[in-house]
Amino acid sequence: MTHQSFYRKYRPVTFDEVKGQDHVTRTLRNAIVTGKISHAYLFAGSRGTGKTSVAKLLAKALNCVDGPTADPCGKCESCVAIGAGTSLDVVEMDAASNRGIDDIRDIRDKVAFSPVEGKSKVYILDEAHMLTKEASNAFLKVLEEPPPHVIFVLCTTEAHKVLPTIQSRCQRFEFRRPNADMVLEVLGRVTAEEQLDIEEAGLAAIARTAAGSFRDAIGVLDQLATYCEGEISLTDVLSLLGTVESELLFEAVDIVADMDPRGALLFINRLSEGGKDFGQFAGELIGHLRNVFLFQRLDEYPAGIINVSTDDLSRLKAQARMLTEAQVFRFLELLIGAQAAIKQGDDPRLQLELAFIAMASPAVDRSEKSILYRLDQLERQVAEGGAAAGKVSPADAEVETETDEVRETAGPEESKPVIQLSLDRIQRAWSIILSQVKKKKVPLHSLLQEARPVDLEGNTLVIGFSPGAEFHKNQVEKQDNISVLAGVLRDMTGDDLRVRCIISEGARPVQEKVPSHEEIIAMAKKAFKAEEVEPAPRDGGGSGDSIPPGAAPE
C-alpha cells in the first residue's frame, strides 16, 4: 500500500485547526452562518500556508450533509469524498497545466450542470496566475455571473500576476506566513500522532528552515521518519537539511566581533573538516545577522519578523548590544558579496575566508566604506577618552594617510559622543562623499565644490551655498542631480536622506576649517598613543642629536 504523505494525512479537517489564518477562517465562518457566501474567492499567499486546505474546508462546509455549516462533520459521504479528492462536485484544476482557452471553455460548458451529490459545485483553481491572457479574458464572464450553485476559489502564490479584472470579481484573502511557534505547534501535533521521538532542537531547526511553510516543515518530518530508526537527533535533522546548528552562527559572529582573524581562519577550517557547504553557511549567517540588525532597530521582539527559537532570543539580544549597527551593516555587505561570488563559480572557501578576514581585520579592506568605518571607530575611541584605544590594531595605522582627506575637513575633536549619523560626521566625510559623486556625475561634483553641509534636520540634509553661488544651487536642485546625491548619501550612511539646498552665509569653502599641522599630529598621537619621531638628516651632515634614543635612522 502506498504511504500517505504526512502533509496530506494531517490537513486541517476543521476551521479551528487552521493555524495563523484567523482573519480568513473567521470571515468564512461568519459568511457561512449568515448565508453571505461569495461566488468567487481569491486566496493569495506563499506556498504551504494553507490556501488549498481552506478551499477544501469551504467545499466541505457547503456540501456537508448538515450544511451549509461552519463545522462540517468530516464523516458523511460528501466530506469523505472531498477529503479524498474523489467528489464529483469539487473540481480541482491546476492552472499551470490547464492554462489555455480550451480549458476555460470546458469549465464554461460544465458550470450549468447541477451538483451531483451536494448542494454546491466548487471549482478550485490552483496557481491561477498561470492562466494565459486569452484564457483569463475568457474566464471573466463566467466568473462574474456564475450559476447560483457554483463557487470559484482561485489560489495563487503570485497575486500580482492575476488580471486586475479577475481580482475585482473576487473576495481576496491574504494568507500570512506563520511564525516559528505556529510551525512548531503543528509539528508537535504530528509527532504526537505518529509517536515520533525527536529532539526539541531538531523540531526548531525544521521550523526555522521551513521559512513559514507548514507543508515544507511537515514534509521534512515525513522524510526524517523514514530516514531514521528510533530517536531522531539534531544531528540527523541537520544532516538531512544540510544546514548548520545555530551555535556555529553565534560563534562566527563572536569571532569577527572580537577582531580575531586567526580564529576566523581556524573556524572556516573546522567548517571544511565538518563537510559544511560554504555557500549555504554564508546564506544562513546572512539570515542570522539580519536578525541581529532587526533587534538593533526594533525596540522589542518583533513576532512574525524574526523566526528563531525561544532559547536563541536572549543570545540574539546580547549580540545586538555587543555590535554597532555599522558593524552589522558592513558584515552583511561583505557576506552578500561573497555569496554572489560563490554563485558565479568562484572558490567558495576562498571567498568566505576573504569575507571573514575583512570582517575581523578592517585594515585589510582599502575601500572608501572601510575607511569611513575605521574613521568612525577612531572618532568613537577618541570621544570616549581613549578608553578603547587599546583595541586598535597596529595595522590600522596604515590607514593614516588614506584618511587625511577626511581629516582635512575636520575641526578640533569635540568631547561629546560621536553618533552614527550626525552633521559633524557628514561634514568630516564630505570630501569622500564628493569623490563618490564624481564617479557617478562629474558636472555635479564640480557644482558641489561650492557647497557644504550646514544642517541636519531629521532625515533632511541641508546643503549650503555661499552668496553668489545661486547658479550652482539651482543646478544641483534639479531632480536628476538630487537623485544622484541622495543615492551616494544612502550608500555612504545607510540612511535615506532628503536633500535641501539653501544660500547661507555660513557656507564657506571647507579649507577654512583645515586644522593646523600641529593639530593633526596631536589627533594622531592621541588616537594611536604614539610618539612623534623626528626624521634623520638625508645628507648625513646634520647632527644625530635630534634622533630620539632607540630610533632607527632612515
**In percent, how much of the chain has pLDDT > 70?**
78
Higher local confidence (pLDDT), 277 or 28 = 28
pLDDT tens digits for range 386-440:
444 444 443 444 434 334 434 443 443 333 333 357 788 888 778 888 888 888 8
Domains of the chain by range and CATH?
6-175 (3.40.50.300), 180-241 (1.10.8.60), 246-360 (1.20.272.10), 408-513 (3.30.300.180)
Based on DSSP, count helices (H) and strands (E) in the chain, helices before strands. 25, 8
Cell numbers of 479, please?
A: 531632480
The Cα-based distances of 301 to 21, 85, 177, 253, 286 in angstroms read 21, 42, 17, 20, 19
pLDDT tens digits for range 256-313:
888 888 989 999 998 888 778 888 888 889 988 988 888 888 766 555 566 666 667 7
The answer on pLDDT for 171 being more than 90 is yes
Which residues have CB under 8 Å from 439's CB, separation 6+? none
User: Which of 39, 48, 68 is CA-nearest to residue 8?
Assistant: 48
pTM over 0.75: no
Give strand pairing partners of 121.
Answer: 150
User: Which of 148, 139, 86 is CA-nearest to residue 120?
Assistant: 148
Cell numbers of 430, please?
A: 564630505
pLDDT tens digits for range 81-94:
998 888 888 998 88
Measured in degrees and rounded to the nearest 5, phi and psi for residue 264 equal -65, -45
CA dihedral 321, 326, 327, 330 (to 10 degrees): 150
pLDDT tens digits for range 528-547:
556 766 655 555 444 444 44
